[in-house]
Amino acid sequence: MNKAELVEAIASRTGVTRRTVSIVVEALTETVSDSLATGEKVTLAGFGTFRVQRRKARQGTNPQTGRRIQIAAKEVPKFNPGRSLRESVA
């Protein structure tokens, strides 16, 4: 499901216009992104938690040349699903 399909599904379930749902979905993604950018954790009860995780620097291999390279440390977004989401998928 892509963003347009998500907007359509929410609009049909709620009876709200697609335009309004699109604005809300966009605001949600921007707010989560902004919060993660400042190092904040975002928890949606029953759905899951978005957080920033620090990856250590490590050695890697360039697949084209086979040469060893140093991969720098970085922060990456991470999502941990909530119990309700895990149970609905299982």
Looking at residue 61, what is its pLDDT?
A: 95
Instruction: Read off the pLDDT band of 64 (50, 70, 90).
Output: very high
Q: For 21-57, what is each residue's pLDDT tens digit?
A: 999 999 999 999 999 999 999 999 989 999 999 999 9
Contacts of 30 (CB under 8 A, 6+ apart): none
Domains of the chain and CATH, by start: 3-89 (4.10.520.10)
Looking at residue 60, what is its pLDDT?
A: 95
Looking at residue 16, what is its pLDDT?
A: 95
- Cα torsion for 53, 77, 32, 84, to the nearest 10°? -90
Looking at residue 51, what is its pLDDT?
A: 97
